[in-house]
Amino acid sequence: MPDVMPCPAGQPLEQPLDQPVKRAGRWALLRRLPLRQILCLLPLLVVGYWVVQHRSLIGSGARQMFTANPYWLLTAVATTGLGWVAVSFARQGTVLERLPAGRLFATQFAAGAANHLLPSGIGASAVNIRFMTGCGLPPARSSAALALYFLAEATTRVGLLVVLLLVFPQALRLGPLLPESVSGMVVAGAVVAAGALVAGVALIRPVRRIVVRFFRTAMADARSLHLRPSRALALWGGSLAFPLLQAAGLVAVALALELEVRPAHVMLAYLAATAVAAVVPSPGGIGSVDAALVIALVAAGAPVEAATSTVLAYRFITVWLPLIPGALVLGGLVRSKIV
């Protein structure tokens, strides 16, 4: 007769099977949850919370627009929309494969909303990488395309800034606004940060290996793209048009509010402010871009109150007005499995 282990008193024989059954039930319940629908609503909920947190700033920007010239405000809205078209061309110029034009434009519009939820453009970058991988590109090539876009956009933006500074060397008077000690601290901090980044890449072997592999992939893709004139034109033309359209939008708002600063100086102020604000990792540049724009317009000769009103109205048009529609489009793209 085989040995049989007695069951302890009060403990059912089927207990060893009870826990796996419960775990399987939990997994089945999780699988039944509409996770994709929840993810679709998440951008809208986060944007709604963001709007509530900044309602006073949004209200100030909206009030400035009631006294402004409506035709120039419509011009600012048009340049904002054309900016997404320019970004779409630049994104297409970073890959050899043809991307679906409609979905590409919708992705850039949605990426604008995502960009205001996470700092330093992380939201927009994540949306674009998801879109490119969904179009069949490997993750390494999608990341290389993203890096090429940032390089082209930064190059054209800094190039425009340098050209305007050479043409209008006295346009910005930062001396009374930023003492020499503050300027020195900013420069020293930038040098230390750059040195730490280079040292980290050079000394940490796994990081160095990843960076070298990524750099090789990016250089190979860049060489292939520049052998195609249509792709090179889309990349550099879109990258050049985007900051020009953004600066033109600020000029239009300045004209709508009758800001007594020359349009070329307003464009210079915009390029200088966005170049400085890019160092501060705030979501969508909120706070950093606003402060930098006000300082730059004051340095260009605008009164503080007028500069603040212009920046609030400009940010209302370019940030707050398309935010909720962009979140809705982002939710639709997630629901359709495009991103």
> For the segment 313-326, what is each residue's pLDDT rounded down to a tens digit?
898 889 888 888 88
Q: How confident is the model at residue 195 (pLDDT cuts 50, 70, 90)?
A: low
On whether residue 23 sits in a domain, the answer given is no
| 244 lies in some domain | yes
In three-state secondary structure terms, 284 is coil
Between 237 and 183, name the one with better pLDDT: 237
Task: Tell whether 27 is covered by a domain.
Answer: no
Query: Total domain count for the chain?
Result: 1
| Token pair 């705030």: residue | 282
Residue 170 one-letter amino acid: Q
Other Cβ atoms less than 10 A from the Cβ of 328: the count is: 16
Domain limits at 130?
Answer: 39-335
pLDDT tens for residues 198-254? 666 566 767 667 667 767 766 777 788 888 899 999 999 999 999 999 999 999 999
Hey, how many other C-beta atoms are within 10 angstroms of the C-beta on 105?
18
- Mention every residue, 6+ apart, whose C-beta is less than 8 A from residue 97: 135, 136, 137
Q: What share of the chain is helix, strand, coil (3-state, %, to 5)?
A: 75, 0, 25
Please indicate, yes or no, if residue 157 is contained in any of the structural domains: yes
**Rounded distance, CA 228 to CA 88, Å?**
17
Q: Tell me the C-alpha distance between 315 and 294, whole Å.
A: 11
For residue 31, being part of any structural domain is answered with no
Alpha-carbon span 283 to 164, nearest angstrom: 28
- CA 88, CA 166: separation in Å to the nearest integer? 30
- Average pLDDT on 28-49 reads 53
Q: Is residue 29 part of a domain?
A: no
Domain-embedded: residue 15 = no
- 169: helix, strand or coil: coil
pTM: 0.73
Q: pLDDT tens for residues 166-181?
A: 998 887 775 544 444 4
How many Å apart are CA 153 and CA 121, to the nearest integer?
A: 13
Q: Is residue 2 part of a domain?
A: no
